[in-house]
Structure 1
Amino acid sequence: MAVREIFAGMPWWVKWIAVPVIALVVFGGLIASVVGFVVGLLFKLLIFVALVGGLIYVVRKFMSSSSTSRGDW
């Protein structure tokens, strides 16, 4: 017996309201933890990219200023 056959005799609100609500109640904590993990990972990735970009900017600024000052010697 397929899932489609089981839901064939059910009213529309069972398929579109009751089943998703039950799924959210049962798996709500799991879904919230997965979403929280993904958001935290994206935030850490954004911080990493910003720090690496800032480091590259500072190193290039330092290298360009030190190379021009070395030419003055």
Structure 2
Amino acid sequence: MREIFAGMPWWVKWIAVPVIAIVVFGGLIASVVGFVVWLLFKVLIFVVLVGGIVFLVRKFMSSSSSRGDW
């Protein structure tokens, strides 16, 4: 790979090639990033819902047991 870019100017390696890669693979990169963000959002929603259920059950169980002490 180094032999290919050996005689090229610096801007070909550091500007032209990355721009071409983004143009060619930009849709794929955007799809992967979008999927990861969607997956993290779903995991966050799951954690919030499970945490809420655990909190409500613990609160209900502690309040019902304290009423039983009367």
TM-score by length of structure 2 reads 0.96
Match of 1:67 among 46, 65, 68: 65
Match of 1:6 among 4, 7, 10: 4
For structure 2, the residue ranges without an aligned partner over 5 or more in a row are none
Alignment-derived partner of residue 20 in structure 1: 18
Which portions of structure 1, spanning 4 or more consecutive aligned residues, are displaced by more than 3 angstroms?
none
Q: Secondary structure at the match of 2:69?
A: helix
Cα deviation, residue 60, structure 1: 0.3
2:44 matches 1:34: no
2:45 matches 1:44: no
Q: Give the number of aligned pairs.
A: 70
Q: Secondary structure at the match of 2:8?
A: coil
Q: RMSD over aligned Cα, in angstroms?
A: 0.6
The 2-side partners of 1:52 and 1:12 are apart by 53
For structure 1, the residue ranges without an aligned partner over 5 or more in a row are none
